Amino acid sequence: MAEVGVIGLGVMGAPMAANLVAAGHRVRGYSRTPATRQAAAERGVEPAGSAREAASGADVVITVLPDGPDVSAVLFGADGIAGELAPGSLFVDMSTIEPGVATEVHTTLAARGIDVLDAPVSGGEAGAIEATLSIMVGGRPEVFERARPVLDVLGTTVVHVGGPGSGQTVKAANQLVVAGHLQILAEAVVLLRSQGVELEAALEVIGGGLAGSTVLQRKRAAVLSGDFTPGFRLALHHKDLGIVQRTARDAGVALPVTAAVAQLVQSLVAQGHGGLDHSALYRLTAELNGLEP
């Protein structure tokens, strides 16, 4: 069993840390929010007074933070943990950040003899609690093998997808697909509503063929009811589409339909709807057409 430091005890990080405790690891956890640290302590996570304290002496340090600048600050900022990571230790960033930032983290820490993985997850809060996350891992294959015993505690689909930054690239592509499918579903439902067909029956038959998708299965209830309680907030999906677009631009890649979808997400955030579930792309599409969502 390993000594694990977990930095970031939010909606995702807290249940992930608790699952590591349940699997027998010794886990020190840090969050900027005292109440969050306290809640984690009740589930067996030793509360640390700082990120450095959580990282100090750990075999494995895991970050689960909102965005790339947070990861950079925790590693390299004032009171950053980089100096606490011993040569031969393992650093796994499970946040969703830009592939380019992830690659920089790999390069900088590898030069100090630290093994690094980028390992963003999908599956949401439920997947974190139930330890059924999908985990997309970038880094050296031997480091992936080293980390598997820890990662397998957190998810059921743990896949090595390439070298440094590859996990973040796959997560970006994943978020591109989810947003695209949500918007396509929204437009299909608006078309169906405009013709007065029986929506439940229509979505049943559409879902049974080549048009079927997990988005249709899991989000149809939100779309049909107009209840966009998250779930996964638009503000976070907007952040992820920013990663998609910057990564594409840096690589010189044109993604025309993704760009259109990203504009619609931007519009929802600009209208103050960043706290709604991402299926609220339907709400905007309905409103564009003068329909009540």
Report 113-152 residues binding its own copies (CB under 8 A): 122-124, 134-136, 138
Report 245-284 residues binding its own copies (CB under 8 A): 247-248, 251-258, 260-261, 264
Number of residues that bind its own copies (CB under 8 A): 72
Does residue 229 belong to the site contacting its own copies (CB under 8 A)? no
Task: Find, among 235, 210, 213, 238, the residue nearest to 223 by Cα.
Answer: 213
Does residue 160 belong to the site contacting its own copies (CB under 8 A)? yes
Distance (Å, whole) CA 179 – CA 172: 11
Is-catalytic flag, 219?
Answer: no
Q: Choose the catalytic residue: 160, 171, 219, 239.
A: 171
Report 185-204 residues binding its own copies (CB under 8 A): 185, 187-192, 194-198, 201-202, 204
- Helix 199-207 crosses helix 214-225 at what angle (to 10 degrees)? 170
Site string for its own copies, 78-107 (x = CB under 8 A): ---------------------x--------
Q: Return all residues near 2 (Cβ < 8 A) that are at least 6 apart.
A: 25, 26, 58, 59, 60, 149, 150
- For tokens 């952040």, the residue is 239
- Which tokens hold the place of 156? 């059921």
Q: What is the DSSP letter of 33?
A: S
Distance (Å, whole) CA 237 – CA 219: 15
Report the nearest approach of its own copies to the CB of residue 95 (Å). Answer: 17
Helix (H, G, I), strand (E, B) or coil at 290: coil
Does residue 184 belong to the site contacting its own copies (CB under 8 A)? yes
Does residue 19 belong to the site contacting its own copies (CB under 8 A)? no
Report the nearest approach of its own copies to the CB of residue 73 (Å). Answer: 25
